[in-house]
Amino acid sequence: MEKKSIGEYKCVQAVALYDAGFTISGVARQLNISWICFKNAIIRHRDHGTFKDLSRTGRPLKLRPRTAHHLKRLVHGKNRANANIITQKLNDLSIIHVSSRTVRRHLHKMEYTYSAQIKKSYLKKIHKMKRIA
């Protein structure tokens, strides 16, 4: 489920009314918010001293900065390779094993794009003669 947020202004009102001696359910009814959101706002203000929503950390990154540096070094150079080959080389270097999808995701974050060079067709003597004429 998605976390619903009541506005910062309503949080300030709710905490002020609660400090004035009103009950949780009475304040929630008066401000037209759920009592659990109101209770969470009071706890957040008491513990952290803020009315804003706290930041969330999320899942830790699979590749640490050092491993990302190795990945960057593997991609640079004249020898271009696909994600599977880069993943194999990276897994040989590092302790943790990652999938090729993770490698592609991190390369995308580092703003790397794969583009193959277009091969030019060479001109034969006949074509050169036609260009001169």
Query: Residue 1: pLDDT above 60?
Result: no
Q: pTM, whole model, 2 decimals? A: 0.48
In a domain, 41, yes or no: yes
In a domain, 129, yes or no: no
User: Across residues 110-122, what is the average pLDDT?
Assistant: 79
Helix axes 65-75, 83-93, angle to 10 degrees: 130
Residues 97, 70 share a domain:
yes
CA distances from 72 to 89, 99, 111, 117 (A): 12, 16, 11, 20
Residues 70, 100 share a domain:
yes
Residues 40, 72 share a domain:
no
Q: pLDDT tens digits for 27-73?
A: 888 888 888 888 888 898 889 888 888 887 788 888 888 888 888 88
Output the pLDDT for position 20. 92
Percent of the chain with pLDDT strictly greater than 90: 10
The domain containing residue 21 runs over which residues? Answer: 8-48
In a domain, 57, yes or no: no
Residues 74, 44 share a domain:
no
The total number of structural domains in the chain stands at 2
In a domain, 100, yes or no: yes
Helix axes 65-75, 100-109, angle to 10 degrees: 90
In a domain, 44, yes or no: yes
The answer to whether residues 39 and 14 touch, using CB atoms and an 8 Å cutoff, is no
Buried-state track 38-67, b at ≥16 Cβ within 10 A, e below 16: beebbebbeeeeebeeeeeeeeeeebeeeb
Query: Residue 113: pLDDT above 90?
Result: no
